[in-house]
Amino acid sequence: MRNIDLHCHSNISDGTLTPAAVAARAHANGVDVWALTDHDELDGIPEAREAAGDFGMRYVPGVEISVTWAGQTIHIVGLRIDETNADLMQGLAATRGGRAARAEEMAQQLAAVGIPGAYEGALRFVGNPDLISRTHFARFLVESGVCADVPDVFKNYLVDGKPGFVPHRWATLQNAVQWIRNAGGVAIIAHPGRYHFTDLAFDAFVQEFKQVGGVGMEVVTGSHTPEQYDYYAGVARTHGLLASRGSDFHGPGESRIDLGALPPLPPGLTPVWHDWAL
């Protein structure tokens, strides 16, 4: 059986490894169909594609777009996109736009609670200055001893109601799905178990996602528990969504689930790759 991993990050966004190093690790772990899905950024794709070719892996061009829907941040993965598509490139450039100003505000809040130098500190972990993210602040807060580890950071800082949280308006759901579709790709809801929705709100979200042209959902992801694999398998069947699998790997020692290490999709699902010539 093929080992298909369609969600992970390089240092072009908030991962710690270069695209080529992520490819090497995916291959070493037995992955044979692989997508790099950096946040709001396509610049890692040429290096990832070349490295995947060197290792004999099937390469799937991907991206993970930050969306604001009903006040929440939602991530939409685009797969099999054309990374030279102007519409997608412009949309992502606009989505990335506010990150520097947001990061400065985050640092001001942290300084106000006695943690100085967070902007410069976070920047030291950044591979791509356009893409400074909460993950880079989290690494700084661990390195400087404020927090024990990254999960500890996201409990006590950088989240709603805690120091260092700056609300941000990302892309709209409709625009994100449209950019992906215009670039020839398929749109997938990333890690649905991470959002804070009532059942009613989640159903409304999926309805709108499908209405604007979204087709799939991650069922087996590094962000889900085994119970959630089964739960979201049911959700995908109920809503007629294709199912995807991806580790959401960010770096060795940081991610709970390594590249290619997830179990296969539960039975009775149509995989997002069902009509790909693999």
Residues that bind Mn ion (CB under 5 A): 14, 64, 75, 190, 248
The residue with tokens 């037995």 is 30
74 contacts ligand AMP (rule: CB under 6 A):
no
Closest residue to bound ligand AMP by CB: 133
Which of 10, 16, 37, 66: binder of ligand AMP (CB under 6 A)? 66
In whole angstroms, what is the distance from residue 43 CA to residue 247 CA?
Answer: 20
CB atoms within 10 A of CB 217: 26
Q: Binding marks (x or -) toward ligand AMP, 152..191, rule CB under 6 A?
A: --x-------------------------------------
In whole angstroms, what is the distance from residue 245 CA to residue 54 CA?
Answer: 23
**Minimum distance, C-beta of residue 276 to ligand AMP, in the bound complex (Å):** 26
**Minimum distance, C-beta of residue 14 to ligand AMP, in the bound complex (Å):** 5
Residues 136-155 that bind ligand AMP (CB under 6 A): 150-151, 154
# residues near ligand AMP by CB under 6 A? 10
CB atoms within 10 A of CB 75: 24
DSSP state of 264: P
Which of 250, 251, 269, 271: binder of ligand AMP (CB under 6 A)? 250
CB atoms within 10 A of CB 256: 12
Phi/psi of residue 75, nearest 5 degrees: -110, 130
The bridge status of strand 186-189 relative to strand 4-5 is: unpaired
Q: Quote the radius of gyration of the chain (alpha carbons, Å).
A: 18
Residue among 64 and 83 whose Cβ is closer to ligand AMP: 64
Which of 25, 49, 96, 134: binder of ligand AMP (CB under 6 A)? 134
Question: Under the rule (CB under 6 A), what is the footprint of ligand AMP?
Answer: 14, 39, 66, 133-135, 150-151, 154, 250
